[in-house]
């Protein structure tokens, strides 16, 4: 699922489920790509190849955080860091967090790499 992305887009929100991607689309309407299963950085790069995206924020919900975060760092974001993308992770505790003006950043991948 892809939402609100054009060639001038510089910031992208990445979700690991269609439900979370649709929630981002419907509540805050930010440029978003949602994958049901992200297996490698190639699938992300293919979607953003004709854009000016430099900032990618991966959005996770707490129940899935422990299962997906290590995998995402090792298998997906590891390949994106050398390409110059600014990578962050936003972790939400509840779907209501999307209604906040700015939801919290709990983890920064640039520090982990």
* pLDDT per residue as tens digits for the range 46-62: 888 889 999 998 887 76
Q: Within a 13 Å sphere around the CA of 53, how many CA atoms are in the beta-carbon half?
A: 25
Q: What is the pTM of this model?
A: 0.75
Give me the pLDDT at residue 23, please.
86
Q: What is the mean pLDDT of the chain?
A: 78
CA dist 16 and 68 (Å) reads 9
C-beta of residue 92 within 8 angstroms of C-beta of residue 105: no
pLDDT in tens, 5-35: 999 999 999 987 888 888 888 888 889 999 8
Task: Map out the domains of the chain with their CATH numbers.
Answer: 2-112 (3.40.1360)
C-beta of residue 87 within 8 angstroms of C-beta of residue 72: no
**Residue 34 dihedral angles phi and psi, to the nearest 5°:** -120, 130
86-92: strand order across its sheet = 2-3, 32-34, 11-15, 55-61, 86-92, 105-107
């Amino acid at each position: 699922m892809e939402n609100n992305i054009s060639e001038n887009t510089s910031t992208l929100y990445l979700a690991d489920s269609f439900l979370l991607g649709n929630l981002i689309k419907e509540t805050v309407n930010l440029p978003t790509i949602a994958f049901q299963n992200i297996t490698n950085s190639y699938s992300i790069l293919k979607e953003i190849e004709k854009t000016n995206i430099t900032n990618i924020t991966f959005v996770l919900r707490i129940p899935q955080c422990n299962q997906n975060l290590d995998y995402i760092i090792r298998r997906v974001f590891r390949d994106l860091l050398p390409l110059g993308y600014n990578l962050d992770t936003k972790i939400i505790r509840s779907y209501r967090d999307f209604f906040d003006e700015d939801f919290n950043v709990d983890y920064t991948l640039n520090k982990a790499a």
